[in-house]
Amino acid sequence: MELLMNLENASILELKNWEQKLALQYREYQDDGLKLDLTRGKPGTEQLNLADEMEGLLKDKMISANGTDLRNYGGIDGISEARKLGGEMLGLPETEVICQDNSSLALMYLYMLHAFYHGSQGMDTAWAREGEVKFLTPVPGYDRHFGICEELGIRMVNVKMLDDGPDMDAVEDLVRNDKKIKGMWCVPKYSNPTGCIYSDQVVERIAALGKIAGPNFRVMWDNAYVMHDLFENPVKLENVMDFCRKHGTEHNLILTASTSKITCAGAGISFLGTSEKNLKHFRKRLEVMSIGPNKLNQQRHVLFLKNLEGVREHMNKHANILRPKFAMVREHLEEGLGGMGMGSWHNPEGGYFVSFDSIPGLAAEIIRLAGEAGVKLTPAGATFPYGNDPEDKNIRLAPTFPVVEDLDQAMKVFVTCVQLASVRARL
């Protein structure tokens, strides 16, 4: 009966009864001694197993088609075949892509350091020369982007994430009027955590920002989930570089992706794409840092994935594993919280997360309750710069890693905690 009740319409007496039942249920969960974790945005074991065949592919293939001995130093840009694959994923020609080691985050970090201290096109373009600079952060967003800015002392300015991407009216207004804004973080496809895909109009407006921004503006286009569709015929993300070429802003764009959540997380290959002019400057950092990337791993990936079609086929296998997990989260939310006025959520069609917004002021409390019942959730505020969710309402759920049975149990607890916190707040 109580599941059909709406928080707004319930009488005080009904709420009190409801609270008692929920508290009882909650204590039962506590007594179960659960140890579940919904914080980890990482592939599950079954997904990782899909890439096991990659091992062994290198036999007799350690000299590349052009005669390069891949076991030796050198080739700072990465091997041509891997750059081509990255280019297909990012929508760029091979000449505008470099392929490096395991992590796109490392490339983003290095690019930000490069732009900050050394200048994306030489010393006189370094952001550090301009005193305090700022970056736009669509929120909720990815905590590690925020970490990079925080470390460099780049002030983050929040803009609201809407269903079709960042609020572009606000973005354009800020960029036009504040020349200290040096860039913006974007996760254009299955954004972390809301799962939205930027619309064609948003992509073009972002591509055009370089025309109204101050000098040395860079859009950090983190396409981490470019291949991570859950369903067939996914919504298409427009090619942002095509728009940049149209607007003459191709130097304002830095694209990244990796195979971390395609093959092996932490043992994949990563890509950074940008104009050749930008690459020429960025290459100087790579050359100081390294005598060349792990070309054997790049070759292994190319032999395994082959081309864009090969990546798509492989990602279909991931999708078959992930669809039931996302469906389970959705069912629990709809059955346990639908129409009750206790929060809202997104039903993403790809990516790694489900973003839940509680009644304002309750996220930290829900996370505390879940934690004390043995279900670990991403800390409150993690999806906002400086760990500060001004409305204390966003909770990021990560359903990929737990096995289905654990996810089922964790979601039951989560729903109970949302109900309990919401009913108590209303009382």
Ligand X SMILES: Cc1ncc(COP(=O)(O)O)c(C=O)c1O
Contacting residues toward ligand X, per CB under 6 A? 41, 103-105, 142, 187, 192, 222, 224, 258, 260, 270
> Toward ligand X, which CB reaches closer, 25 or 294?
294
Which tokens in the block code for residue 195? 């799962």
The nearest distance, CB 352 to ligand X, in angstroms, is 6
Instruction: State the nearest-atom distance from the C-beta of 104 to ligand X, in Å.
Output: 3
The answer to whether 418 touches 424, Cβ cutoff 8 Å, is: no
Cβ proximity to ligand X: between 39 and 409 the closer is 39
Residue 208 or 273: the one with the smaller Cβ distance to ligand X is 273
Query: By C-beta, is 103 or 249 nearer to ligand X?
Result: 103
DSSP letters, 347-364, are --SBSS-EEEEESTT-HH
- For residue 373, the Cα-to-chain-centroid distance in whole angstroms is 28
Residues 6+ apart with CB under 8 A from 82: 99, 269, 298, 299, 301, 302
CB of 142 to ligand X, least distance (A): 4
Of 398 and 423, CB closest to ligand X? 398
Tokens of 116: 């900050």
Of 128 and 321, CB closest to ligand X: 321
Angle between helices 363-372 and 404-426 (to 10 degrees): 130
Q: Give the separation between CA 385 and CA 302, rounded to whole angstroms.
A: 37
Angle at 86 between CA 80 and CA 89, to 5 degrees: 145
Distance CA 336, CA 411 (A): 9
Phi, psi angles (nearest 5°) of residue 185: -85, 135
Chain centroid offset of residue 284 CA:
28
**Is residue 224 within 8 Å of 104, Cβ to Cβ?**
yes
CB of 75 or CB of 141, closer to ligand X: 141
